[in-house]
Structure 1
Amino acid sequence: MLSKGSIPIQAASTPTVPVSKTFACAAFTVVFILLSLVPATQAQFARPGELPRIDAATRAAIVDSVTAAIDSIYVLEGPAKRIVAGLKKNLADGDYDDLTDPAELAERLYRDAQAINHDGHFRIAAMPPLDPAVAEAQQDEDPADVERRRQLRRARNYGFKKVEILPGGIGYLRFDEFAHGDEAFAAAAAAMNFLANSNALILDLRYNGGGSASMIRFICGYLFEENAHLINWDIRAKKKTVQSYSADYVPGRRITEQPVYILTSDRTFSAAEEFTFDLRNLERATVVGDTTGGGGHTVASRIFDFDGFRVGMRLPYGRAYNPKNNEGWEGVGVIPHIAVPAEQALITAQADALRKLIETEEDEQIIAGYQWGLTDLESRLNPIELTKQQMKQYVGNYGPRRIFIEDGALYYQREDRPRYKMEPMGEDLFRVGDLDYFRLTFERNKSGKVVKIIGLYDNGRTDEHERDKG
């Protein structure tokens, strides 16, 4: 019983923005196709006992199909040849003779291949046969399903989750996927143009698992003055190299003079890693956070049909690398310039941006504004806890102002206005609730007793009151 054929590597539609230049071949569209993204009716793995038994001829046909795909497609030629030789030797030595269940054979082939060359993207699995009715339905997709997916993507704003201007004029953009299509590009353009006046730019990719390379090129178009060579892709099966460039044209203003920060986590993966890798290598961004996931290969699906079952493969087939040194991020991730836990990445990047703005600014009033924000951030990175005895030093009335302890925390209230929880920022310096424009500091006498309260405002104004006697 022989394989009836396979589903070839599929090609994505050509992006509508400038994409890449190639050499040694005609233009080629890099695609990311994961077996896990095939509809559930196609990609549900079978468990042992669910599929018809196989004989020696079918075992040989499965091994032939699997090894042929590895030999012709797998991204690295050396490991591909070792895997092929190892699996064929195991078959010839009779190591698979007792395996009459397709699911068990597929799992064994997968484990044997991994023992020869470990690859987190590689997979072999047996699957039930595709229902002919399902296959026919997939040829003519229900327009309602297409529209539903479009509405869901639009409701997620194509991954663009949050955009704002942080203290100090620092622009912040969180986006959780690299979407493709005209509406996605429009959302990206709106976000980037909103941030065009920023003093620095923070791009948050901590929750971004990847997506389309076309969005990488589009956003990079805003960050470089001219067309920039971002990365190369080697496609072994095609014997070609793809050169990827930033977009020649983007709508609106470019952001080319401001420093850029990229926030990463171990969940930052695939296209999000390429974006980070590109800007890091081109010295256009400072990377802050955790080392990324390490997915630097493009992945294709290959499915072989047999009588009563199918065998599916997930095959890495393209390798991304820096054209200057031939290095990529597969298996190692993109290493940050400033390594901190992902949850501290935003504050760390903000603080670093403000320090650099202070270094280059000459206007004292502007520097004071930057310093106000920096003091807040540094206190959050290095939190202070006060004992109850230390809190008691501040308790008392200061004219119209009152400091008191409630539920183990210090509180501030002025006359009959709302009361605010106080958080220590430094020696005798406190944050007051969510009032980002106002802080409190205290003055002590020579014996160290607190005798005065001083209100500090972000515009430089102060007001103070002596502590009531008695």
Structure 2
Amino acid sequence: MPPSRRSRLPRTRLLAAALPLLLPAAPALHAQAPAPTPLTAAARRQALDSAAVLLSARYLDPAAGRRLADSLRAWARRDAFATVADPARLADTLGRALRTVVADKHLYLRHVPNVEYVGGAGAGRIVDARVAPAGGAGPVMVRRSGRVDPRDSATIARTNFGFAKVERLEGNVGYVKLDLLVPPDYARATADAALAFLRHTEAVILDVRDVPGGAPQMMQYLLSHFVTGPATLLHASFARADNVADSLWSVPALAERGLGGKPLYILTSARSASAAEMLAYVGQRSRVATVVGETTSGAGNGGRPHTIGAGLQLFVPERQILTGPGWEQTGVVPDVAVPAADALTRALALARQRVAPGTSAVR
């Protein structure tokens, strides 16, 4: 079975069986931009109308999408945001207003004036091209709408592609602290180096307590190092607007690099969101990992950003999870519940006790 696949399936059958997927939760990332031009009433109306069309057509729940669209059109008719001329402030204000209509943590806007998202499937594929817009306003970065991180590749590289720390701790336990789940298209070499360093450890701890989200493909890549046996379905979702189901499978060759079958612990906090929650959810559900820490944020509905004008990007939750109930609003409940600050200590104790049963666990 291939590591990932996409298929067109009957819409009615899938909608009846479906539930929430994902990408990153509400804005933790900000692209640098020049001082914004104040919005006109016409620009606000166009942005709200564009958002209404997108949400009506693409939001994962058709009825909820219609409610959102109706609200947007009503706000546009009466220029409800007339006092909000700053586009960054409008993004925040409008996002909050939308979430009063439908409580969805992936339903948000941000102001990214130098990035244009274009349609197309292929979430996680990085396709960048600089173009000069009409009027000579300077280059704009055009990205497929599967790309959710507005930063350029050089900026992402300076974060070490989300790998903040890799250590071999006492008791021969490996530790990886992540800041973001960056797509393997960018981060594969760094991920490979980190995991190779831990190849001879007895157990591994992945720390996503401060991860706001990222790429599902990095979840697939990381967990594949620990899943033994034939290719296993890790996660599946359905996009009703495209009538497409996507699946992520384990990659058996990655488990042959030395970590397959070793004890894995995933640290979580209430700040862990979106793809970080997916990592914990899939690891727990597949019994590949033990989740230690706090219940996660509850941002489970996956989607992608769309340009709606005025430099505004609307993240539309488009995907329903097919593998289990998901974690939208509920979060991922840890196997071992402890305050986030104590999660590493507890996971270390559990790991040491598991690999050396005579060792007393730290409480």
The interval holding the TM-score normalised by the smaller chain is 0.7 to 0.9
Question: What letter corresponds to residue 65 of structure 1 in structure 2?
Answer: S
| Separation in 1, partners of 2:183, 2:33 | 25
Q: Which segment is superposed worse, 340-349 or 265-274?
A: 265-274
RMSD of aligned Cα (Å) = 3.9
Deviation at 1:66, TM superposition (A): 2.9
Q: Deviations over 1:179-209 (max 9, x none)?
A: 2346622222222233233222211222223
- Tell me the amino acid that sits aligned with residue 171 of structure 1: G
1:318 CA drift (Å)? 2.8
Larger Rg: 1
Residue deviations 1:152-193 (CA, integer Å, cap 9, x gap): 544543232333333333222223222234662222222223
Moved more, 208-217 or 288-297: 208-217
1:117 is aligned to 102
Corresponding residue for residue 165 of structure 1? 168
* Counterpart residue number, 1:342: 340
3-state SS in 1 of match to 2:314: strand
Residues 66, 193 of structure 1: alpha-carbon distance in 2 compared, 3 angstrom cutoff: closer
CA drift of 1:83 comes to 2.4
Q: TM-score if structure 2 supplies the norm length?
A: 0.72
What is the aligned partner in structure 2 of residue 216 from structure 1?
219
Give the alignment of 1:132-171 within 5 angstroms.
Answer: 135-138=137-140, 153-171=156-174
Contact kept, 8 Å, 2:108 with 2:315, in 1: the verdict is yes
Gaps of 5+ in 2: 10-20, 116-132, 144-150
Q: Structure 1 counterpart of 2:239, which letter?
A: I
User: 1:170 touches 1:198 (CA, 8 Å); kept in 2?
Assistant: yes
Distance 1:75 1:118 in 2: 13
1:253/1:113 CA distance change after superposition, 3 Å: closer
* Number of matched pairs: 322
Kindly indicate whether the alpha-carbon contact (under 8 Å) linking 2:168 and 2:174 is maintained by their aligned counterparts in 1. yes
Which string of whole-angstrom CA distances, capped at 9 and with x for unpartnered residues, describes residues 318-351 of structure 1? 335252x3x1112222111111111111111121
Secondary structure of 1:297 counterpart: coil
Give the corresponding residue for 1:273. 277
Number of the residue aligned with 1:83: 68
Return closer, same or farther for 1:235/1:261 CA change in 2, 3 Å cut-off: same
- Asked if the contact 1:79–1:117 (Cα under 8 Å) also holds between the matched residues in 2, the reply is yes
Q: Equivalent residues in 2 for 1:51-450 (5 A)?
A: 51-54=39-42, 64-88=49-73, 96=78, 103=85, 113-123=98-108, 135-138=137-140, 153-181=156-184, 184-225=187-228, 226-250=230-254, 253-305=257-309, 310=310, 312-319=312-319, 321=321, 323=323, 325=324, 327-359=325-357, 367=358, 370-371=359-360, 374=361, 378=362, 381=363
Aligned pair in 2 of structure 1 residues 137, 31: CA closer, same or farther (>3 Å)?
farther
* Partner AA of 1:23 in structure 2: S
Alignment deviations for residues 244-273 of structure 1 (CA, whole Å, 9 cap, x no partner)? 112243386242332211111122222222
- Secondary structure of the residue that 2:204 maps to in structure 1? strand
Letter of the aligned partner of 2:350 in structure 1?
D
Matched letter for residue 278 of structure 1: V
Measured in 1, the distance between the counterparts of 2:3 and 2:141 equals 29
What's the counterpart of residue 460 of structure 1?
none
Contact 2:293 2:342 in 1 (8 A): yes
1:336 partner letter:
P
Cα distance in 2 between the residues matched to 1:127 and 1:175: 25
CA contact (8 A) 1:189 1:251 kept: no
Alignment deviations for residues 425-455 of structure 1 (CA, whole Å, 9 cap, x no partner): xxxxxxxxxxxxxxxxxxxxxxxxxxxxxxx
Q: Distance in 1 between matches of 2:110 and 2:157?
A: 34
- Counterpart of 2:33 (choices 19, 41, 62) is 41
* Deviation of 1:116 (Å): 2.5
Give the CA deviation at 1:232. Answer: 1.2
Query: What is the CA deviation profile of residues 54-112 of structure 1, one whole-angstrom value per residue up to 9, with x for unaligned ones?
Result: 5xxx8876654332111012222221122234455677xx7x16875674996886565
Aligned-pair CA distance for 1:227: 1.4
Given the superposition, is the C-alpha separation of residues 160 and 293 from structure 1 closer, same or farther in structure 2, using an over 3 Å criterion? same
> Structure 1 CA distance, aligned partners of 2:157 and 2:96?
41
Q: Any idea what SS the aligned residue of 1:237 has? A: coil
- Alpha-carbon distance in 1 for matches of 2:292, 2:47: 46
CA distance in 1, matches of 2:180, 2:112: 29
Counterpart of 1:316 in structure 2: which amino acid?
A: V
C-alpha separation in 1, matches of 2:302 and 2:24? 8
Contact 2:50–2:308 (Cα < 8 Å) also in 1: yes
Judging changes above 3 Å, is the alpha-carbon distance between structure 1 residues 140 and 134 closer, same or farther for their aligned structure 2 residues? farther
- For the residue of structure 2 that corresponds to 1:346, the secondary structure is helix
8 Å Cα contact 1:237-1:317 kept in structure 2: no
Q: Structure 1 residues 70 and 171 mapped into 2: Cα distance closer, same or farther (>3 Å)? A: same
Identity between Structure 1 and Structure 2 (%): 27
> Which residue is 1:429 aligned to?
none
Helix, strand or coil for the counterpart of 1:343?
A: helix
* Equivalent AA in structure 2 for residue 84 of structure 1: A
| Distance in structure 1 (CA, Å) of the matches to 2:256 and 2:172 | 19
* Structure 1 residues without counterparts, runs of 5 or longer: 1-17, 142-147, 360-366, 382-470
Distance in 1 (CA, whole Å) between partners of 2:47 and 2:218 is 38
Distance 1:294 1:153 in 2: 25
> Cα–Cα, structure 1 residues 320 and 286, in superposed 2: closer, same or farther, change >3 Å?
farther
Q: Secondary structure at the match of 2:235?
A: strand
